[in-house]
Structure 1
Amino acid sequence: MKKTLLALAMAGVVTGCSTPPEAPEDPKLESTEQKVSYGMGLVLGERMSNDLPDLQMEQFLQGIQHGHAGDEETKRLTREEIQEALMAYQQQMQEDQKKQMDELAQKNKEAGEAFLAENAEKDGVETTESGLQYEVIEEGTGDKPSAEDTVRVHYTGELLSGEVFDSSRERGEPVTFALNQVIPGWTEGLQLMNEGARYKLYIPSDLAYGPGGNRGIGPNETLVFDVELLAVNPQDDAASE
């Protein structure tokens, strides 16, 4: 009897596996209403894939059906319960993002420290008391700026990976700014240079953008700048001309 039941069960499994269920046919897209309905669903789905990457599709589709039906009896959550769930989800996402940022910040800091320790041993690289490193590519003969001066520069900024995140050279136009309004590594590094000089600055994260990062720059990134000091207080030059 047991063997017979087992045989029947196995036969059922084999039969079930050998005849997979037919895939449902795609709904028609012939009328304007059908196309609009599909289009709205497509747009909403694309948005949801960005806003809610772990979307539970079965629950999502049921929510759409119940909401479209407008029958209060079929709705499984109140507005208050939905709001509570949204707030809990947002809080969890913020905690996850913070954890990821903290891990990335620690990784970047360790990579930067290792790079700077090795870089400090290279010929031609000098390290200041703050930890800023610089390398002279070409010396200048003009004035040195103070922290209160305005400077005009050409520069290329890179991450340790070699990725260029910003470059006045690529834009084809130098930049003018007050030296006390930029990151500390720039404020210190430019004061080491004479007008006409070109230096390579290796800037530790605490002299750059720190754990907050910046556009295109991750948390605690060590930065490398190739900087050419074109002019000190260029507005004075324009006035004299």
Structure 2
Amino acid sequence: MKITQQRIIATLIAFLLGFAMLSMANATTPEENKAAGEAFLAENAKKPGVITTSSGLQYQIITEGTGKSPSATANVTVHYQGTTIEGKEFDSSYKRGAPASFPLNRVIPGWTEGLQLMKEGGKSRLFIPSNLAYGERGAGRDIGPNAALIFDVELIKIQ
């Protein structure tokens, strides 16, 4: 079999089409994501140590901090791991080997609210409903529209 530019292009197109079809077959709709998130959060709220705020944010204190709590506009330094409710990791400062620093009012609302409930040196697990995360737009290919998210967050420092 002679390898030609046409064969290479045809093979590449077939691969890409197959990959696209597989991705579409595994995709969930925004409505399915929202329903799954709501069901997850309803069950999660029943677990010991899980606190639900008036906004719907849920959190669980893993380690109580001893420092101060940040304001909504504070600059913070944190280590974190983010996963979907199915357990798929989509981001981790731990894996990058460096904590992240940012103004608290420049992140998703679930983080802004959740970190204000923490103290320096503390670690919490945030269970964030879609409306306090990325909402209908989602984020990248790992966070679908209307997806609820889970973050383990360690508040290292408030600047």
Q: TM-score, normalised by structure 1?
A: 0.59
1:149-160 matches, cutoff 5 A = 149-160=74-85
Q: Which residue of 2 aligns with 1:41?
A: 6
Q: Tell which has more relative contact order, 1 or 2 (C-alpha 8 A, sep 6+).
A: 2
Q: Do residues 227 (structure 1) and 153 (structure 2) align?
A: yes
| Percent identical | 53
Aligned residues: 152
Q: CA deviation at 1:197?
A: 0.8
**Correspondence for 1:121:** 46
Which string of whole-angstrom CA distances, capped at 9 and with x for unpartnered residues, describes residues 157-192 of structure 1? 111111111111111110001100000000000001
State the partner residue of 2:105.
180
Q: Could you tell me how far apart the structure 2 residues matched to 1:200 and 1:51 are?
A: 38
* Corresponding position of 1:191: 116
Give unpaired runs (5+ residues) of structure 2: 19-23
Shift of 1:48: 2.9
Taking the TM superposition and a 5 Å limit, the aligned residue runs for 1:1-241 are: 29=2, 38-49=3-14, 104-215=29-140, 216-233=142-159
Report the residue type matching 1:221 in the other structure.
A
Deviations 1:74-99, CA, capped at 9 Å, x for gaps? xxxxxxxxxxxxxxxxxxxxxxx8xx
Gaps of 5+ in 1: 1-25, 30-37, 54-96, 234-241
Runs of 4+ in 1 over 2 A off after TM superposition: 46-53
State the Cα distance separating 1:49 from its structure 2 match. Answer: 2.3
Deviation at residue 111 of structure 1 after TM alignment: 0.6
1:170 maps to a residue whose letter is K
The superposition leaves residues 201-226 of structure 1 with CA deviations (integer Å, 9 ceiling, x where unpaired) of 00001100112111221111110000
TM-score of the pair, normalised by structure 2: 0.88
More strand by share: 2
CA RMSD in angstroms, aligned pairs only? 1.9
Identify the structure with the greater helix proportion. Answer: 1
The separation in 2 between residues aligned to 1:158 and 1:209, in whole angstroms, is 13
